[in-house]
A and B are shown apart, each in its own frame.
Chain A
Amino acid sequence: MRGFFASFLVVCPLMLPASAAETPRAVLPERHAAVLDKYCLECHDTATGKGGIDLESLPLDLGTIESAETWQKVLNTLNSGEMPPEKKPQPGFDEKAALLDDLSARLVTARKLLSDTGGEITMRRLNRREYENTIEELLGVEVDAKDLPADSGSDGFDTFGSSLFFSSDQFEQYIALARKALDAAIVTGPKPETKIVRIEAEEEANRRIRGIFRGYQKQGYVAWKRWQASKGKPTTDFGFPDDKEIEFRKLVWDRESPDFADYLSREETLTGAFLTVSNPNPQVGLAIPDEAPAGRYRVRARIGVNRAAKPDPSRTFVEIGFRGDDIEGAIDLIDCRKINAPMTNPEVIETEVALPPLSRPLTVDVGSQTKKKVTLGERVIAFRQRLPNNRDAARFLRYESVNETGFNTEPALWIDWVEWEGPLVETWPPASHEAIFFKGPEAGKTDAYAREILERFATRAFRTRTPDPEFLDSLMAFHQAETKAGKPFEEALKKPLSIVLSSPGFLYLKESGLGFSPNAEDELGQKSKTLTPAELAVRLSYFLWSAPPDEALLAAADKGTLDTPDGLERQVDRLLADERAAGFVSGFTHQWLHMERLDFFNYNHRLYPDFDDSVKMAARQEVYETILNLLRRNRPLAELLKSDTLVINDLLADYYGIEGVNGPRFREVKVPVDTPRGGLLGMAAILAMGSDGERSSPVERGAWVMRKLLHNPPPPAPPNVPQLSRHAGKLLPARELLQAHMEEAQCAQCHRKIDPIGYGLEHFNAVGLWRETEYTEIAANNRVRQSKEHPIDDSGTLPDGTKFDGFFELRDVVVSRHESFARGFVEHLIAYALGRPFGFTDQDLADAILEQGRKQGATPRAYLHALVQSEAFRRK
C-alpha cells in the first residue's frame, strides 16, 4: 500500500502541468481529408500506395515521428508543385492554401511535441560568453574565446545544454586558453611603470604624406616627363614595363597631386593634422611600441572641428580603433566620439583600450617610397573621421568629390596631438593574483602552501564544490615536477591551475538537485529535484550575469537566506543593479530578437554611407540599452512597443535627426509621441535587420513582427518552393514585386499573412531611416544605369483581418496586442533561464509568470522575479 502511494507521489508533480493546461495535439482538421481524397487517393490509397505513400491509412494525427515524416513529405511535394502531377486535376487555390496553411502549422506543433524534453534540463558546459566572464572573474584577465568551437547547435539559446557539445580538440583549446590567461594573471617582479607618450599629429602625418606625394611625383610625373622628352625611347629605359604603366602613373599623379599639394600647403598642418576622407591623410596613427606590456591603456587626442569648412554635423565624429593592415582600410572599431570644440580651441577626448599581447612582429616595410619602416597592425591606434569601415567605400566617397571639384571634401576635423597612457595598474600585485596567492608575497613557498592554493582555487573554480583529495594529489604531482624542473614557485603552479580550468568541474554547471527545499510539501519527488542553495546561486548568477556568483550571493546561499521568497527577490534586485546584468541583457536579447541578422549582410555603402560600423554598433547597443533601462527603472515591457522615451547617444541622435544630445553615453531622451522612433519598430537595428543591405524586405520585417511581437510565428521557409523571378530586373516597388506571392497557393498561404505587415514598415528604408518615396535602381560597378522613385503605400492587414492605415496605426495595433508580446518574451525567458527549449509542458509555468508579472506592473523585472520565484527555476 505504501509502495503504491509513494509512486503516486513521485508521479504527481510531473503530471500537474499536463492536467491543468491541455497539451495541444497536432491533428489535421478533418475537412482536409476530403481534399486529399479527391486529389491524391487515386494513386496514394492503401491498395495502390504509389511511391510507398499511403495517404488513406495515414493518421491525421502528426504526433509520431513516422507520421510527421510522411506529412513532411506531403507538404514538401505540395510546396514544390510536384504533386498532384500536372496531368491530373489540381486542387483549387483556396482549398490548397488552406491545406498547406494547416499542414505547415501542425507540423511545427508536431516537431515541438516530439522534441519536448518534458521539462528535463540537460547539464551544460559554459558557453563562450560565460567562459570569458568566468575566467575574468577568477583571474582578472580578459580572454578571447572566439577560437573555441561555436556554441549554437541549431536554433535556440546558447544556454541549452543539449546543443552545447564538446569536440575532440576542445580540451586542448581550454588548456591553452587557461595557460594564456594565467600567464597574464600571475605576476612576478615590480609594478610596471605607467608611461605617458604624446605624439604631435603633424610629425606622424607630414612625413608620411610628403613621402607618398614625392613618390607620385618622381615615379609618376617626373618619369613621364623624361620619357616624353626622350622622344620615343622605350619605357623600359625608365624602369617601366610598358607604355600603359607609365601613362597610368601620370594619370595617378594628375588625380592625386592636387589633394596632396593642397594638404601640405596649409598652415594648420604645420602644427597638427587634418583628417581627410581616405587620402591624403586617412588616419593619424598612435603606435604603441612592442615593449609595452598587454593591459588596460588610456588613449587621448586633442581634436577640433574645422568650422570654416561648415562640415555636415554627422561628419564631426572621430572614430578610434586598432589599425588593420592598410592605413586606408578597415579598423577594429573601439569608439566613436562627437567633437564639438572648434579647432581654434580643441577638446581632449579620451577612451580606454585593452592592449593585446604582441602576437607577431608588426614592423613591415611600406616600400621604397618612404625608405622608412613604419608599424602597421594590431597595436596601432588609428584616429580617423567617421567613415564606412571599408577602404573602397571611403575611396569612392573621396573620388565622388574629386571628380566633381578636383579636390577631396574639406576636412571636418583637425588633430593637434595623440597620446597613450599605460599600462593602468591600480594595485600591485593585482587583486586576482592575490586571490590565488592568498597568503601574500612573504609566505613560505612550501608544498603545503601550494596544496592550499590549489584547493582554494579549485573550490572557487568549481563554484564551491570541494575537489577530491585524489584530484589534488595529481595536481600536486604537476607542481612538484615543475619545481623539480627548476621553475619558480608561482610559475610551477600555472600548469596545475590550467588543468583545474580544463576540468569538467569547472567547465560544466553541475546541478545535482539534491537540495532540500523547505517549501516542498512532500519529501519524495520534490526533494530529490530541488537545487542546493549553492546550485541555486550558480543558476541565478549565470542567468542574470552570464557569470559566476559573487561572494555576497554565495554567502546568502550559505547562510540559508537565498532560498526564500524575500531572499531571492533581494538578490535578483541586487544582481540586476550590477553592471554584469548587461551580459544577460545583450546575450539574451541578441538571441531572442534574432539580431545575428544584423551581421548577415553588407549594407551598401554607396546607397547608405551613413549606416557605417559606428552607427551599426550604436544601433545594436540601442536595443540592449533600452531593455536594460526598462529593467533598471522597472517600467512596463509594453514600452518596447511604443514609447516617448528613447535610449540613445549623440551618434544615434544625429542618425535619427534628434537634436540636443551630447556625449557618447546612452541616456533617456524624450521624443514626441507622433515620431516614428520609440519602440522596437522604430529602431534602426531592427529595421536594418529587415533588409538585405540594399532594399527593405517587407517579408523579413513582417515575419519578424509575427515571430517576435505578435507571438504568432509563421512556419519556417519551406525548401523547394519555386523561386519567383518573373519581375527581376524591373524597377518596381517592393509591394508590387511581392504581389507575385499571391499567384500561387503555396506562396500565398504564408505570405498573405506576412507581407502586409511588412508593408506597414515601408516608410523605413533598408537602414531604418524614414523616407517619403521608395528608391529603386539598376546599377553595376557602382554606376547607376536606371533609377526610379515610387510613392509608398504603407497600409495593410493583419492575419486576423485587422486593417491598418500606415505605420502609426500598425504600431498601435501591435501595442494593443501587448499581451501576446509579453507571452513571447516570457516563453523565451523561461527557455534561456532553464537552458532548454520551451515546451508544451511549460504552458502552466508561463501562465503563472504572466499572471504574477501582470499584478506587479507587467514589467520585465516583474516577469524575472516571477520566474525566479517559480518552483521550476529552483528545480533540476
Chain B
Amino acid sequence: MNTRRHFLRSSSALIALPMLESLGFRRFVSAASQTATPPKRMIFLGFGWGVTRESWYPDKSTVGTDYELPKGLAPLKRHQKDITVIQGLSNQFNNEAHWGSTFYLTGANRYAEPGQSFSNTISADQVAAEVFGRDTRFTSIQLGCENAEGSGHGPGLSLAWNRQGKPIAGLNHPVAAYHRLFADDGTPLEQRQAMLKDQRSILDTVLTDAKSVKRGLTKTDIDKLDEYYQSIRDIETRLSKEEQWLGVPKAKPKDPVEEPPSEVAGVEEVKIMYDLMLAALQADATRVLTYRQPVDSFIRGLGATITGHNMSHYQPGMRMEVSEMRDRKQSELLAGFIDKLKASKEPDGSSLFDHVSLSYGSNIQSIHYLDNCPTVITGGGTGVKHGRHLVMPDPKTPLCNLWLTLLKGSGVEVESHGDSTGTIDELWS
C-alpha cells in the first residue's frame, strides 16, 4: 500500500532561493570591487560510470547546428541551442576503467612520479579557484556523494585536487553542503571573533607539536608531514577569509533557507544539490563549484535493483534499460538546472546562465571504454558559440584542451593545463 501511496515530497522546494537584489552583503561586495558586469563562474559536474554509448552520443555524421539529440540527451532538447556536445576527447594517460573522476579534471599520469604507484596534479576547477576565489567567502565548493567508488568515481575525495596533487575533501551530503553554505548559527560577532582567535591558537598549538615530530625525519617523511601542514595552512586561509567576512552575514535569502531532509538520496539528492549550487552562485558565496554525482543510489532511486557497477557492464536487456533510464534522468535534471540558471537574473538584467561555464561528463565513456569521454558544455561565460555538435578531427584530443579552453574563455590566464596541447578554437568560431 505504501508503494502506491508513497508521497514523494519535492524536497527541493524547501530551499528558498536567495533574491539577489535583497542581499545586503552583496552590496558590500560590490562596494569593495565595483564591477559593472557580473562575475564569471565555473561549474564542473562529473558522473562517474559512463553513459550508454549506443543512445547517448549524437550521430557522428551530423556535426554543426543541424543534429539530433539522441535518447540519452533528449531531455536537453529545449536547451539545444545553448549547449555543445563534443566527441573525441580523452585522457591519454588513464587506463583505469573504474576511475571516472580521479583524473577527469587533471589529465595526470598516475605513474608520472618515479617510486610512486599513484600521483595526480591540480584539477581545472582549482586553477580557476585561485583566481575566482579571491573575492568570495568560499574559494571553491566541492560537492559529492556517499560511496563514490560504487558510483565509478575512483580514488579521490571530490573532483578537486590541489596544487600538490592531493585530494580535496567534498561535502557529500546536501545537509553538510547546506550547513557550510548557508547555516548561520546566530552567534554574536564578538563571540565569533573570539572563536576564530581560539581556532588560531589550536592551530598554533598543533604546529608546536608538528615541529617536534619533524625533528629527525627523512625527506619523504617531511613531505608526508607537509600534508598535515598544508591542511593547517588551508584552514588558516579559510579563517582569514572568515575574519574578513565576519561583519557580513551569510547570504540571507528573502525567505529563510531550510535545511534539506537528512534521508534524501538519489534523484532528489541531485536536485537539491543543484538548487544549493544555484543558491550559492546567486548569493555569490563561491564562483567555482564541482559536483561528483551519485550513480549507485541514483539508479536505486529510479527503481533499479542492481548496483551502479552492474549497470555499467550493461548488455541489451534489463541492465541496458537501467543505464538508458539513468542517462535520461540525469539529462532531465541537468535541463532543470539550466532552466534555473537562465531564470536567475543578475542586477544588470542578464541571467546567471550568461556568466557561467558549465561542463558535464566523465572520464569513462561507457563500460570499460575510456576514449571519447562524454562531454556536454553550456553557459555563456566562456564565449563558446553553443548549439553545435562538435566531433574533434583528432579522436584523441586531450580532454585538458577543453579545460584550457574553458579556463581561458572564462578569463583565467593560464598557458596550459595537464597534458593540453592547445585550446579548441572551433568552440569560439
- Interface hits, A169-184 → B, CB 8 Å: 169-172, 175
Chain B residues near A477: list those with CB within 8 A. 201
A171 in contact with B210 given A720-B368, A729-B316, A837-B117 (CB within 8 Å) = no
Interface SS majority for chain B = loop
Which of A37-45, A156-164, A342-350, A623-631 forms contacts with chain B? Answer: A156-164
Flag if A154 contacts B155 (CB, 8 Å). yes
Flag if B111 contacts A602 (CB, 8 Å). no
Report the Cα distance A175→B195, complex, angstroms: 14
A580 to chain B, nearest CB (A): 26
A331 to chain B, nearest CB (A): 16
Within 8 Å of chain B (Cβ to Cβ): is A721?
Answer: yes
Chain A residues near B109: list those with CB within 8 A. 65, 69
A167 in contact with B167 given A115-B115, A153-B118, A504-B228 (CB within 8 Å) = yes
Chain B residues near A166: list those with CB within 8 A. 166, 227-228, 230-231
A325 in contact with B117 given A166-B231, A168-B230, A168-B235 (CB within 8 Å) = no
- Interface hits, B154-206 → A, CB 8 Å: 155, 157, 166-169, 198, 201-202, 204-206
- Interface hits, A710-748 → B, CB 8 Å: 716-721, 723, 725, 728-729
Flag if A122 contacts B224 (CB, 8 Å). yes
Which of A264-272, A508-516, A767-775 forms contacts with chain B? Answer: A508-516
Report the Cα distance A778→B221, complex, angstroms: 56
Within 8 Å of chain B (Cβ to Cβ): is A76?
Answer: yes
A499 touches which one: B205, B309, B369 (CB < 8 A)?
B205
Most buried by A among B93, B95, B210: B95
Chain A residues near B115: list those with CB within 8 A. 114-118, 120
Within 8 Å of chain B (Cβ to Cβ): is A474?
Answer: yes
Chain B residues near A693: list those with CB within 8 A. 306-307, 310
B97, closest chain A residue (CB): A719
- Interface hits, B123-139 → A, CB 8 Å: none
Which of A200-208, A228-236, A465-473, A816-824 forms contacts with chain B? Answer: A465-473
Chain B residues near A412: list those with CB within 8 A. none
Within 8 Å of chain B (Cβ to Cβ): is A475?
Answer: yes
Report the Cα distance A692→B318, complex, angstroms: 14
0 or 1 for each of B298-326: is its CB under 8 Å from A? (1 = yes): 00000001110110010111100000000
- Interface hits, A40-84 → B, CB 8 Å: 65, 68-69, 72-73, 76, 80
A171 touches which one: B114, B217, B235 (CB < 8 A)?
B235
Chain B residues near A601: list those with CB within 8 A. 306-307, 309-310
Within 8 Å of chain A (Cβ to Cβ): is B220?
Answer: yes
A80 in contact with B371 given A167-B167, A504-B225 (CB within 8 Å) = yes
B93 to chain A, nearest CB (A): 7
Chain B residues near A778: list those with CB within 8 A. 317
Flag if A512 contacts B118 (CB, 8 Å). no
A468 in contact with B208 given A693-B310, A718-B95 (CB within 8 Å) = yes
Report the Cα distance A604→B217, complex, angstroms: 52
B222, closest chain A residue (CB): A123
Within 8 Å of chain A (Cβ to Cβ): is B247?
Answer: no
Flag if A156 contacts B117 (CB, 8 Å). yes
Report the Cα distance A168→B166, complex, angstroms: 10
Report the Cα distance A168→B227, complex, angstroms: 9
We find that the number of chain B residues with CB closer than 8 angstroms to chain A is 70
Flag if B316 contacts A76 (CB, 8 Å). no
- Interface hits, A106-133 → B, CB 8 Å: 111, 114-118, 120, 122-125
Within 8 Å of chain A (Cβ to Cβ): is B36?
Answer: no
B209 touches which one: A161, A167, A467, A716 (CB < 8 A)?
A467
Chain B residues near A114: list those with CB within 8 A. 111, 114-115
Chain A residues near B234: list those with CB within 8 A. 168
- Interface hits, A577-623 → B, CB 8 Å: 600-602, 604
Report the Cα distance A594→B324, complex, angstroms: 30
A325, closest chain B residue (CB): B263
Chain B residues near A600: list those with CB within 8 A. 150, 307, 309
B318 touches which one: A125, A149, A360, A780 (CB < 8 A)?
A780
A507 in contact with B111 given A149-B169, A512-B217, A837-B117 (CB within 8 Å) = no
Most buried by A among B166, B221, B230: B221
- Interface hits, B243-276 → A, CB 8 Å: 262-263
Within 8 Å of chain B (Cβ to Cβ): is A459?
Answer: no
Report the Cα distance A508→B220, complex, angstroms: 14
Interface SS majority for chain A = loop
- Interface hits, A296-327 → B, CB 8 Å: 325
Flag if B118 contacts A163 (CB, 8 Å). yes
Report the Cα distance A122→B150, complex, angstroms: 29
B2 to chain A, nearest CB (A): 8
Chain A residues near B155: list those with CB within 8 A. 152-154
A510 in contact with B213 given A122-B221, A474-B208 (CB within 8 Å) = yes
Chain B residues near A172: list those with CB within 8 A. 235
Within 8 Å of chain B (Cβ to Cβ): is A283?
Answer: no
Within 8 Å of chain A (Cβ to Cβ): is B10?
Answer: no
A502 in contact with B206 given A123-B217, A149-B167, A167-B157 (CB within 8 Å) = yes
Within 8 Å of chain A (Cβ to Cβ): is B367?
Answer: yes
B227, closest chain A residue (CB): A166
Report the Cα distance A287→B198, complex, angstroms: 41
Chain A residues near B112: list those with CB within 8 A. 65
Flag if B235 contacts A508 (CB, 8 Å). no
Report the Cα distance A467→B116, complex, angstroms: 33
Flag if B117 contacts A65 (CB, 8 Å). no
Report the Cα distance A596→B21, complex, angstroms: 51
Given contacts A156-B117, A467-B209, A503-B206, 4 further A-B contacts (CB under 8 A): A167-B157, A474-B205, A719-B94, A720-B368
A→B interface (CB under 8 Å): 65, 68-69, 72-73, 76, 80, 111, 114-118, 120, 122-125, 149-150, 152-156, 161-163, 165-172, 175, 248, 252, 256, 325, 360, 467-468, 470-471, 474-475, 477-478, 481, 499, 502-505, 507-508, 510, 512-514, 600-602, 604, 692-693, 716-721, 723, 725, 728-729, 778-780, 837, 876
Q: Which 7 pairs of residues, A with B, have the shortest CB-CB distance? A: A168-B234, A728-B315, A123-B221, A115-B117, A474-B205, A166-B227, A719-B370
B→A interface (CB under 8 Å): 1, 4, 92-97, 109-112, 114-118, 148-150, 155, 157, 166-169, 198, 201-202, 204-206, 208-213, 216-218, 220-221, 224-225, 227-228, 230-232, 234-235, 238, 262-263, 305-307, 309-310, 313, 315-318, 367-371
What are 26 sample pairs from A and B whose C-beta atoms fall under 8 A apart?
A69-B93, A111-B111, A111-B117, A114-B115, A116-B115, A120-B115, A120-B220, A122-B221, A123-B224, A149-B167, A154-B155, A166-B228, A168-B169, A171-B235, A172-B235, A360-B262, A468-B208, A471-B205, A504-B228, A505-B213, A508-B224, A601-B307, A602-B306, A602-B310, A719-B94, A723-B315
